[in-house]
Structure 1
Amino acid sequence: MVDTTRGEAPAPEEEPHGCLFALSQPPLMIFLTVIGVLLLMAAVHDLFLL
């Protein structure tokens, strides 16, 4: 009979990352920066040009 048991321990699962890890990702930071700049431009336009 063939031995099908594994001799090594199972690989540990990755720990879940929190919100700060998600915020540190470059694509998300670029997206949030673009949205922030657009909101800032709209606010400046409303305050000074209207």
Structure 2
Amino acid sequence: MIGPEMLDTSRGQDPAPTEEARGCLFALSQPPLMIFLTVIGVLLLMASLHDLFLL
């Protein structure tokens, strides 16, 4: 049979709060990612301007 100590599932203290899930906007706000995306954007812009004006 199940003893009384097995039925008591309450805790003396509240569990520690878990971190909130962070979404895409948090990831985009990270400086290394923003620098990477800026470099890629500049390269694409330079390539498109080269195609438009020099070819």
TM bucket normalised to smaller: 0.7 to 0.9
Match of 1:46 among 38, 48, 51: 51
- Aligned amino acid, residue 53 of structure 2: F
**Which stretches in structure 1 are left out of the alignment for 5+ residues?**
1-5
Identity %: 84
Q: What TM-score comes out, normalization by structure 2 length?
A: 0.72
Q: How many angstroms apart in 2 are the aligned matches of 1:49 and 1:24?
A: 35
CA RMSD of aligned residues (A): 1.4
Q: How many angstroms apart in 2 are the aligned matches of 1:10 and 1:32?
A: 39
**Which stretches in structure 2 are left out of the alignment for 5+ residues?**
1-10
Q: What TM-score comes out, normalization by structure 1 length?
A: 0.79
**Matched residues, number:** 45
Runs of 4+ in 1 over 6 A off after TM superposition: none
